[in-house]
Every structure is written in C-alpha cells, then in structure tokens.
Amino acid sequence: MNYKRFIVYQGTVGMAASMIFPFYILLIKNVGTSYSQFGWAYGIFSLTAALCYPLIGKITDKAGDKAFLLIYSWGMALILLAFPLAYEIWHVYLLQIIMGILGAVQKNTEKTVLARYVTKATAGKEIGNYHVWTSIGAAAAVIATGYLVDFLTIGSIFYLASLLFAWSGFLIMKSGEPAPLSVEERLAK
C-alpha cells in the first residue's frame, strides 16, 4: 500500500463513518428513552477505545498496519449491519463496546501509518494535506447522508455505510503491496 492508496482508503472509511456518527443519535433516541442514554453509549465507546489503545499499539507493531486496517474495515462493515436491528438500549451499549475496540484499531493504525510514511522534515505539511482530503470526503458524506435520511429510513444509512467499509477492505486487500515494515522488521535490517 502506498501513501496515495492510504489516503483513498482513509477518505473512504472517513466517509462511511461520517455517514453514521452524526445520525446514529436518531437511532439511539428511537431505541432509548433519553439523551443521557446517548451519553452513556458514547462514553462506553470512548472508554473501551481508551482501554484498548496500549494493547492494539503493541500488536500493530508486530502484526503490521495492513492487517489492522483490514480488521477495522471488515469489522465495521459487519457491526453496522447489526445497528438497525438493535431494539433495546443494551444492544446499543454492546455495539458501542465493539465499535470502541474497532475505533481504537482505526485511530492507532492511522497514526502509525502516517508516522511510517511522512518525512520528518515535512510532516506538518504532509499531514495537513492528508487531513484536507480525508475531511472533504467526510464533509461530503455528512451532507449527502442528510438528504438520504430524508428519503430513506435511518437504518438504511447503516447498510450503505457498511458497503463503504466493505469496499475499503477490498481496497486494502487489492493493494497487493505489503504494508510498511513492522518495528521488528525495520530493526532487523
């Protein structure tokens, strides 16, 4: 996987995530009874991610980034299929735990890939350009999803986002190029 392919991948997962995150409060409101339940759901997501970061970081250094990008893409594609089926708040809490783990995988791996690809002397510029392209995709997805929700059901956006996540997994699988070297492989050279 090269840097440009990584930007396309991250733009795709950013679009898919942006399709659901601003709107899934509507789904939780339909399942739960209050916004405090949304607070708990998001808090569970964040706490789960925080607890998983150290372990994910260690494993990523050994297994490589590509494997974790695939885990994130395919994991999100599968978990989003379950969201429209959630009809009790504890279902949402359980889904949030799984998404917290996957979110930690994504955030940690995104940063390790960036660290491996950017040149130290121009890191700020390269990361700034990276964020431009991934943010444009995310913004377009949020705007378009607002219109989609008007014409489709709230559950349908989870299915569409699932398809985007699956497609991002295919992008990584089809890259045919190895991921950047793990720490052990770099030290061995």
Question: Which CA distances in Å does 122 have to 10, 87, 107, 117, 126?
Answer: 20, 49, 21, 11, 6
Residue 129 has pLDDT above 80, yes or no: yes
* pLDDT at res. 86: 82
* pLDDT at res. 84: 84
Mean pLDDT of 25-44: 74
Mean pLDDT of 50-54: 95
* pLDDT at res. 87: 80
Q: What integer best gives the mean pLDDT of the chain?
A: 84
Mean pLDDT of 109-137: 87
pTM for the model? 0.82
Residue 56 has pLDDT above 90, yes or no: yes
Question: Which CA distances in Å does 187 have to 58, 62, 106, 127, 182?
Answer: 15, 12, 25, 25, 9
CA distance 38 to 30: 11
CA distance 1 to 7: 10
Residue 21 DSSP label: T
CA distance 76 to 106: 10
